Structures are given as C-alpha cells and as structure tokens.
A and B are shown apart, each in its own frame.
Chain A
Amino acid sequence: GQQLNQSPQSMFIQEGEDVSMNCTSSSIFNTWLWYKQDPGEGPVLLIALYKAGELTSNGRLTAQFGITRKDSFLNISASIPSDVGIYFCAGLNTDKLIFGTGTRLQVFP
C-alpha cells in the first residue's frame, strides 16, 4: 500500500525553539493535511493544503505542499509547552486519507 514517511520520528526541544518536520510519499497526493494528537485524544486537524506549492499558516504553524505533490513540510515557530504531542501528516487521494508514521514532539521549559 501507499506509505508516508515522516521525519524525524521524535524531537526533544527547548521552549522557544523553532521546529521543522516533513513527510514524503512514493505517490502523488491532491491534498495534504497536518494533524496533531494530544495524549489520550484523537487527532485534530491543524492545516489543510490543496495546491502544489501552497504555503499556509495557522498562528505559529506554517505548512507547505511540495511542488512534486509527493511531500509536505510543517514548521512551528517559538514552541511552547502545549505544542507537545504527536504530529501526523496525511495525504488525501480520491477518497481515503493515508497517514504518516508521526513525529513525537517534546518541549522542555
């Protein structure tokens, strides 16, 4: 099946630092989505990207839809403790979401 590879697998950063993570695929997607999962909860949508090359921001979060349509990037600026969680990318092709393996983020004060 289709695979989405996320990197890094985990990150341990200090509060205030910027964070970058990415997602790559062997297949083309028409839509890229980024989700965050807090401990004990289901994933919640952060950003949706609909066009190749698109750059979209949501507060301190910025995500980009890669030109090749096979990758996407998420940046978090000036991290805070509540940014802790697992971040998932997901590609939407026709009618199903395929999820990446996740990046676990830990933020230390």
Chain B
Amino acid sequence: DADVTQTPRNRITKTGKRIMLECSQTKGHDRMYWYRQDPGLGLRLIYYSFDVKDINKGEISDGYSVSRQAQAKFSLSLESAIPNQTALYFCATSDSNRNYGYTFGSGTRLTVV
C-alpha cells in the first residue's frame, strides 16, 4: 500500500457542487499539506496542518476548506466548485523532527464542468 493515499484519483463534478478530496497516510508524520498543480504554475499551497487541532491557510485558500480528522487523515473540501478549480491536487506529509522534505500522494485530478 502507498504511504500517502488520495481518493478519488479522478473526479468530474458540476459547477456549484460540494466535493471532498480525501488523504490518508501510514507514515506516522505529524504534518500534512494540500497543494494544487496547474500547468506552468508549479505546486501552490492551499492549506496545511501541523497537528490534529492545527489548520493554516496557504497562498491560495479561497474557495477551499480542510479538516484534520486524525493525525493520519486530512481532507480538502470545495464548498461550491467552479471551473477554475479544475486542477491536479496533491496531498503531502512531513515529519517535524526530520528535515527531509515531503512525501506526496499520487494526486487527484479534478475537473469542474
């Protein structure tokens, strides 16, 4: 099994719908992140969490919300999806005690029509 699992892998949804992307990890890391990838723009941080009760906005949090239900689970919600939220979304984890970078999931490709 993958260390960082994202579900679903692909999703097509209609404008105005609420959608949740799930992320779970088995690495035992305390920190979790949601990134969005668009062609030519790299990866941009949406939200991050350093512990179960900790939620922080990234550089592009508008239109998104998150929930850290447990140390191993971090979900991203789009309250009312719009077409410009069509993108590839990545969850990542890191260990605050080790400075070795992040471990990424395989991504969720979201299309809003």
Contacts and interface: CB of A to CB of B under 8 A. Distances in A.
Nearest to A101: B42
B107 to A, nearest CB: 5
Interface string A79-100: 0000000001010100111111
Contact of A42 (B31, B40, B101, B104): B104
Interface residues of A, number: 26
Nearest to B104: A42
B100 A48 contact: yes
Interface of B: 4, 31, 33, 35, 40-45, 48, 50, 58-59, 90, 92, 96, 99-107
A35 B35 CA distance: 14
Nearest to B103: A45
Nearest to A41: B106
A45 B101 contact: yes
A28 interface: no
Contacts of A92: 99, 101
B42 A100 contact: yes
B90 A42 contact: yes
Given A31-B99, A48-B101, A92-B101, A42 B106 contact: yes
Contact of A97 (B4, B101, B105, B107): B101
Contacts of A40: 106-107
A41 B88 CA distance: 10
Contacts of A1: 59
A41 B105 CA distance: 8
Contacts of B43: 43, 88, 99
Given A41-B107, A42-B90, A44-B104, A101 B41 contact: yes
6 contacts: A42-B106, A92-B101, A95-B31, A95-B50, A96-B58, A100-B42
Contacts of A97: 33, 45, 101-102
